[in-house]
Structure 1
Amino acid sequence: MFNNAPWAPLVATGITIVLILVIAFLLRNLAHRLITRVVNRAASGGSITSRFRKGAPPDGIDVLLHERRKQRAETMGSVLKYIASIVILGTAVLTVLDRLTIPIAPVLTSVGILGVAIGFGAQELVKDFIAGLFMLLEDQYGVGDVIDAGAAVGTVEAVTLRVTRLRDADGRVWYVRNGTITRVGNESQGWSRAYVDVPVSYDADVVTVKVLLEHVAEEMWADPELRESKMVEPPQVYGVEQLSNSALVFRVTVKTLPAAQADVARELRLRVKAAMDAAGVAMVAIA
């Protein structure tokens, strides 16, 4: 009886459209959940240093690597969710149009032509997005890193697929398009190194000076606050690094956590100056 009713095809079409949309949203939610699960697994994976340390408690580098991995995974997860939504919902819309007997070939042709036109008119935008995508995949830099992006040098405050926002030492904010960045120097990735050159006169005893510097290095490494929050390895005294016209130059280096090299170098200079004054060893200017 219902098959012969004039409104039966409309009801059947309506039910089909509703089913298509319901299935599309279910698939979208399923895809988002799967992406979220993958992102959480990627963000919580063990770091390289922890695997090599075999059960040792995570140090500063482990924590920083975890945060960077989490940030990168979340960013890529949002991009994947956006792409999944477009593909699934776009396919559902085309299926609904086909069910409504609306020719989709002209629509696809129009979309293709429009896409080509937009592509030619927005080549720089596409270039920025592709560069931003690979930058995130390769973890070239992240929020909080100090980088040299060519156009500007500063601390990264925000990273998107299109632009990177930097703040330089003067407080000036720079917006750099990702497609214009041809090389990046990252001062905050993995670890950094602080070094201090100590110039003393030619009359100073080389062995005495080296022993003093080694004692300063041991004291710094024994300081729990510095060792746990800023330094990665004990300071190294390399001995005479340079011979100038007026001084012997000793060099002390310290492997530090990312972006902590300046603070460690300042502390090292203060301790070296105090040790030299206490031992009566004069420091001279390099001519």
Structure 2
Amino acid sequence: MADFWEKLLLAVIVIAVALLVRTVARFVIRRSVRALTARQASTDGASSESQGFHPRSWGASERQRQRIDTLGSLLRNVVDVALVVVALLTVLAIFGVPMGPLLASAGVGGVAIGFGAQSLVKDYLSGIFMLSEDQFGVGDLIKVGELTGTVQEVTLRVTQLRDPSGTAWYVRNGEILTLGNVSQGFSTVTVDIPVALDEDQDKVTSLLREAVAGMATEAEWSGKLLEEPSVLGVGDMSGGTMTIQISLKARPNEQWGPARAVRERAQRALAEAGIRGPILPATPTQ
């Protein structure tokens, strides 16, 4: 009986040590991620001061920070799995469970279990490939099927997203067949400005160019726009409407604010110049 309590005490110590190691490991990972992120931020600040802002360098540095966060999330997951396995095997050894036959039977049983756990293996393999190929990282806005959300956490099995309504979604990595990453590189949007079909195209285009000129250097939009808005010209003519298109290139998922500002400036400029809106079809009288 005394031998049993001694083994039980050793098992409790093993579990306590595993929990302590987990706490220390998570603390080290968290501090390392913060240190790497701070170092990346200071490097980016020094580079921007010496060379000025460059869209490509900004995208690379932002991507590096996201990869650091993703790596931290993955390391925490790996530490948890490794500690559980080691602690479990150690406790079994303390109570005299023979490891040789257990591992041999686990190998045989693993083949049988593998047929029923194909989806689990698929999830882990998909997670490994997605992380190694840097398809997305923590903080990215991604589209998975009909779901759009910001990546909150990445593990080898599941990816946690949070959609604009605040709902947390857990997507199995093996079920991600088509993925779109909104946060990589840059975002673009085309703004349509409708005017009357018989208005002077050159005059309208000139007014719009003047209205949006210099937006990329203004304090309000310099942190979002990567280049000056470009007036493309006539994009469509139908009925009594001529549509002039303006293209915007902005930082990832930052195009909506500048797009609204372009519409406001265009409406104000066209109204002041007396440019008419679309010609609506006449309503038949009864």
Q: TM-score over 0.5 for the alignment? A: yes
| TM-aligned CA deviation for residue 58 of structure 1 | 5.4
Match of residue 12 from structure 1 = none
Match of residue 6 from structure 1 = none
Residue type of the alignment partner of 1:120: F
Match of residue 72 from structure 1 = 70
Match of residue 124 from structure 2 = 129
Match of residue 193 from structure 1 = 188
| TM-aligned CA deviation for residue 238 of structure 1 | 0.8
| TM-aligned CA deviation for residue 132 of structure 1 | 1.8
Please give the alpha-carbon distance, in whole angstroms, between the structure 2 residues aligned to 1:199 and 1:240: 10
Match of residue 255 from structure 2 = 261
C-alpha contact 1:199 1:285 (8 A) present in aligned 2? no
Please give the alpha-carbon distance, in whole angstroms, between the structure 1 residues aligned to 2:280 and 2:221: 29
Alignment gaps of 5+ in structure 1? 1-27
TM-score by length of 1: 0.69
How many percent identity over aligned positions? 37
C-alpha contact 1:195 1:251 (8 A) present in aligned 2? yes
Alignment gaps of 5+ in structure 2? 1-20, 282-286
| TM-aligned CA deviation for residue 120 of structure 1 | 2.6
TM-score by length of 2: 0.70
CA change 1:76–1:42 in 2 (3 A) is farther
1:164 paired with 2:162, answer no
CA change 1:285–1:62 in 2 (3 A) is farther
Please give the alpha-carbon distance, in whole angstroms, between the structure 2 residues aligned to 1:134 and 1:42: 24
Higher Rg of the two aligned structures:
1
Match of residue 246 from structure 2 = 252
C-alpha contact 1:164 1:176 (8 A) present in aligned 2? yes
| TM-aligned CA deviation for residue 273 of structure 1 | 1.0
1:113 paired with 2:108, answer yes
User: Out of 128, 137, 141, which is 2:136 matched to?
Assistant: 141
Match of residue 232 from structure 1 = 226
Give the number of equivalent residue pairs.
257
SS at match of 1:224: coil
Please give the alpha-carbon distance, in whole angstroms, between the structure 1 residues aligned to 2:240 and 2:140: 39
| TM-aligned CA deviation for residue 54 of structure 1 | 12
C-alpha contact 2:70 2:154 (8 A) present in aligned 1? no
CA change 1:112–1:45 in 2 (3 A) is farther
Please give the alpha-carbon distance, in whole angstroms, between the structure 1 residues aligned to 2:150 and 2:177: 18
| TM-aligned CA deviation for residue 84 of structure 1 | 7.4
Residue type of the alignment partner of 2:117: A
Residue type of the alignment partner of 2:256: A
SS at match of 2:226: coil
Quote the RMSD (CA, aligned, Å): 4.2
C-alpha contact 1:151 1:176 (8 A) present in aligned 2? no
Residue type of the alignment partner of 1:65: R
Q: Deviations over 1:86-129 (max 9, x none)?
A: 99x69x97xxx8xxxx9754233122123324323322222212
CA change 1:145–1:40 in 2 (3 A) is closer
SS at match of 2:235: strand
SS at match of 2:51: coil
Match of residue 219 from structure 1 = 214
Please give the alpha-carbon distance, in whole angstroms, between the structure 1 residues aligned to 2:248 and 2:105: 62
| TM-aligned CA deviation for residue 82 of structure 1 | 6.4
CA change 1:82–1:170 in 2 (3 A) is closer
Residue type of the alignment partner of 1:192: S
SS at match of 2:197: coil
Please give the alpha-carbon distance, in whole angstroms, between the structure 1 residues aligned to 2:34 and 2:208: 47
Match of residue 272 from structure 2 = 278
CA change 1:251–1:170 in 2 (3 A) is same
More divergent stretch after superposition (195-204 vs 113-122): 113-122
Please give the alpha-carbon distance, in whole angstroms, between the structure 2 residues aligned to 1:62 and 1:158: 21
Please give the alpha-carbon distance, in whole angstroms, between the structure 1 residues aligned to 2:82 and 2:161: 31
